[in-house]
A and B are shown apart, each in its own frame.
Chain A
């Protein structure tokens, strides 16, 4: 019974970790950062009273760590890039134009409207 549960749990952990890695390409950052830690914790729980992780759980942990690291890198890189773009006048103007062509408002106008939006005036 417990062996079957352990196998099921390690299978789930492996499935989640693979999905976390694959979802990096579809929904980066959010989905992998949710699924990766869950996969690691399930892998740990699948150990039961044994001393070592089951084979599939070991693979799940490795894949999850890769997925988490990759997405944290993407997150940090995106934040740094955004700050750099906002600080450079030429790139900022280009970004404003792109946002305006998509949403009908430039990024600066959107950022200006944020406080009044939060106050509920808009």
Chain B
């Protein structure tokens, strides 16, 4: 007996990219300008607040870490707004610039928690690398230990991204759920789909490298394409489920 092969309800990476490109047609300028505003605000705020120098190296490190965490949480709110634009495009709605500041208007408490979660854990996982860069005259043994710890943290960071990359979309799509429920939901929805998302990430590496060749300018368009693909991935997951 020939077993009937069950049709996969989920779209392939190429189909998701096609959906993303289709959603971007005619809306590319609003996406690019939103990304530019988001990046400018991000670098402006980080530029103003970065590199506080206090007497003690340890206190200096902790203060700078906390400042970066607060700032990245704040800019994370704008990034949530940016994701709203791409989600709108994916569902055939007309996006507006004002959506960039969506989290400052309503549901900001939950947005802060989500942003803190999405930016805080990766920041904590970057501590070994930050220590290596900021503390001088470390012994060779300490450096080796830090490199190993950072390598483990990198793996954890990738796992974190794969689990929670759709969290901004869930936050926008389910305004009634609490932050903890959204985090749990994100993990549940991503079960069995992390490999697919990883494949999408990897498939974008050549484009990001091409963008780097243009001193990062072309990456603005690549980012728009990437975010649109993530939104398409999210829509595919939710539609199939």
| Chain B contact surface mostly | helix
Q: Select A33's contact among B28, B215, B225, beta carbons within 8 Å.
A: B215
Given contacts A2-B25, A47-B21, contact A41 B215 (CB under 8 A): no
- A 1-53 contacts with B by CB, 8 A: 1-2, 4-6, 9, 33-38, 40-42, 44-50
Nearest Cβ on chain B to A1's Cβ, whole angstroms = 6
Closest A residue, CB atoms, query B212: A37
| Chain A contact surface mostly | helix
Q: Is the CB of A48 within 8 A of B18?
A: yes
Asked whether any CB of chain A lies closer than 8 Å to the CB of B108, the reply is no
Using C-beta atoms within 8 Å of the partner chain, give the interface range for chain A.
Answer: 20 to 34
- B 9-27 contacts with A by CB, 8 A: 18-19, 21-22, 24-26
Closest A residue, CB atoms, query B228: A45
Q: Is the CB of A37 within 8 A of B21?
A: no
Q: Is the CB of B214 within 8 A of A33?
A: yes
* Binary CB contact string for chain B from 31 to 65 against chain A (1 if under 8 A, 0 otherwise): 00000000000000000000000000000000000
- Note all chain B residues with C-beta closer than 8 A to A45: 21, 24-25, 28, 221, 225
Chain A residues at the B interface, C-beta cutoff of 8 Å: 1-2, 4-6, 9, 33-38, 40-42, 44-50, 68
Given A9-B25, A45-B28, 11 further pairs, Cβ under 8 A: A1-B26, A5-B25, A33-B215, A34-B214, A36-B213, A37-B210, A41-B225, A44-B207, A45-B221, A48-B21, A49-B21
A-B contact pairs, 8 of them (CB 8 A): A2-B26, A4-B26, A33-B213, A34-B214, A41-B218, A45-B21, A47-B18, A49-B18
